[in-house]
Structure 1
Amino acid sequence: MSSKLHNQFKIVLLGEGCVGKTSCVLRYVQNDFNNRHLSTLQASFLRKTVQVGNESVNLAIWDTAGQERFHALGPIYYRDSDGAVLVYDITDEDSFQKVQNWVKELRKMLGNDICLALAGNKIDLENKRIIGKHQAENYARSVGAKHFNTSAKQNKGIEEMFHCLAEDILAKKSRDLKTAGRSTGISIIDDSQVEKKSGCCQ
């Protein structure tokens, strides 16, 4: 059997206050939801290990504060991130505009080194939606991100979003490793190739 590599990826959640960042991560990690608003002060940290294909992936998820006074601390938390979840409230135009500012900052600081997922949260309030689905999806596509419609309250889209982001990060790391191998002249082979070769020699 092929050995399972243990990958550690850092994911940061960004977005305005009250958009549901904490609710999303608590639903994902602990399958828990609290109807009361939970304000994050500076940042909190949660960890979850998931299976992505044949790989065991350890996600270190940083939930950052959305209040304006904490925005200057953002770079401290996303500096070494492999992925980012940018959360906005589908009923709040300003929260969607602020997400676009975060994306610009992330791309400016980290370029394509970070994988992005946009979460249009609170789809349980669909009847109050202001941000159109196509509008959000087109924007996400324009910045190389994937868009997800989520509801922490109803547990919709959360698992899929984090899993897809982990897949994207893993795929990017694999591509980067192969690129590094080609540039140094070192051949990168995975366990499946080793097994096939060893099987032919038996």
Structure 2
Amino acid sequence: MSYSDAVSSSAKAAAPRKGFKLVLLGDASVGKSSILLRFLHNKFSEEIATTVGAAFNTKTIESKGRQVKFEIWDTAGQERFRSLAPMYYRGASAAIVVYDQTNAVTFDRAQEWVREVMSTSTNPNIVIALAANKADMESKQQVPWEKAERFAQQQGLFLLDTSAMTGKNVLRLFEGIAELLPDEPFMPQQRGLQVLTTPTTTNATAATDQKASARSRCC
């Protein structure tokens, strides 16, 4: 066996069997799915299907000499799906709360999301990141950076200025979370949401009568 083969075999052996559950939260059209698309495939699409319930994906990255496998739930931002969100963030190791810098209301809602996760998550050490998305639309910015920075400092959040369109800080967002995670994923005492397969993209809903909505634009 050559040296390169040995290194490859060692890397495969070191691949994590258990993943860190990460949930994306925030209002509709703030760019959660676009951030995820950029992270997973380094792509951006002007037209992206509205998430119904939640979509599941996985990706493994290297952080501080170890392999970190993310099991990512991209949740729907529409109000009618709000009650489903706790199903996904309870027991999560990390959460990314996204807001749109060009829409002040989404920042107010992001603050509500952060407080809700902190008060109801079953993981007392959950890592929470705040993504100030749509940094490429600086001329339309409605949320001063200082305001977001002040809130992040008060709540102990990992804050980044992101753009799914240009890719600005998207990879850094996930890398930064990985650096803050413990050695092992959080394992809740009670049985939470479990995934038996690893689909590329799936839609999960608790209500069987929910139908997919029309496509929407977001970045």
Corresponding residue for residue 208 of structure 2: none
1:83 to 66, 88, 94: 94
The structure showing larger relative contact order (alpha-carbon pairs under 8 Å, at least 6 residues apart) is 2
Corresponding residue for residue 67 of structure 2: 56
Counterpart CA distance in 1 for 2:124 and 2:147 is 22
Corresponding residue for residue 79 of structure 2: 68
Matched residues, percent identical? 38
Highest CA radius of gyration, 1 or 2?
A: 1
Pairing 1:93-112 to 2, within 5 Å after superposition: 93-110=104-121, 112=124
Pairing 1:40-189 to 2, within 5 Å after superposition: 40-110=51-121, 112-170=124-182, 173=184
Higher helix share: 1
Counterpart CA distance in 2 for 1:75 and 1:164 is 24
- Once the two structures are superposed, what CA deviation does each residue of 1:93-134 show, in whole Å capped at 9, x if it has no partner? 110011111111111012632100000000110000010111
TM-score (norm 1): 0.81
Structure 1 window deviating more from structure 2 (66-75 vs 111-120): it is: 111-120
Counterpart CA distance in 2 for 1:105 and 1:26 is 26
Corresponding residue for residue 49 of structure 2: 38
Counterpart CA distance in 1 for 2:49 and 2:149 is 28
2:22 to 3, 11, 16: 11
Counterpart CA distance in 2 for 1:141 and 1:39 is 32
Contact preservation (8 Å) 1:18, 1:37: no
Counterpart CA distance in 2 for 1:38 and 1:143 is 32
Contact preservation (8 Å) 1:4, 1:54: no
Where does structure 1 lack aligned partners over 5 or more consecutive residues? Answer: 177-202
SS in 2 for 1:113: coil
Counterpart CA distance in 1 for 2:64 and 2:119 is 31
Structure 1 window deviating more from structure 2 (162-171 vs 14-23): it is: 162-171
TM-score (norm 2): 0.75
Counterpart CA distance in 2 for 1:9 and 1:98 is 25
